[in-house]
Amino acid sequence: MAEILRLDPIRCDGHGMCAELLPELIALDDWGYPIITRGPIPDRLLDHARRAVDVCPVLALRLRHTSTTHGAAAVPTPAGAGGR
Ligand code: SF4
């Protein structure tokens, strides 16, 4: 079972600490809000992903298990998620 990153865009305050810990999968937009790469997290990045989730001060970033390995379907994105 793979894991994916989910962002709650309502909670996210754009602190940007997650992107510092996981630049391979999280970029920041012009306002400092994360843009998350869709799809399963590669095994080699799971520890970094867990740390990125742990440092989020507002619990906006979460890991979620998914049974699919198809990236586009793995991350249901509410309006505005990851792209403010
Ligand atoms: S998800 Fe958390 S750590 Fe990342 S930018 Fe948003 S508030 Fe900051």
Q: What is the CATH number of the domain that holds 53?
A: 3.30.70.20
Whose tokens are 């998914």? That residue is 66
80 part of a folded domain: no
* Residue of 22, 26, 56, 63 best suited for mutating to test ligand 1, as the one with most atoms within 8 Å of CB: 56
Q: How many domains does the chain have?
A: 1
Q: Does residue 18 lie in a domain region?
A: yes
Q: What is the pLDDT of residues 28-49, one digit of tens each?
A: 999 999 999 999 999 999 999 9
Question: For 59-82, what is the mean pLDDT?
Answer: 64
Largest separation between any pair of C-alpha atoms in the chain: 34
d(CA 72, CA 52): 22
DSSP 23-81: TTTEEE-TTS-EEEPPSPPPGGGHHHHHHHHHH-TT--EEEEEES---HHHH----TTT
Residue-number span of the structural domain to which 15 is assigned:
2-59
Of 13-17, 59-63, 64-68, the range with the lowest mean pLDDT is 64-68
Minimum CA distance residue for ligand 1 atom 4: 18
Is residue 65 a part of any domain in this protein? no
pTM: 0.79
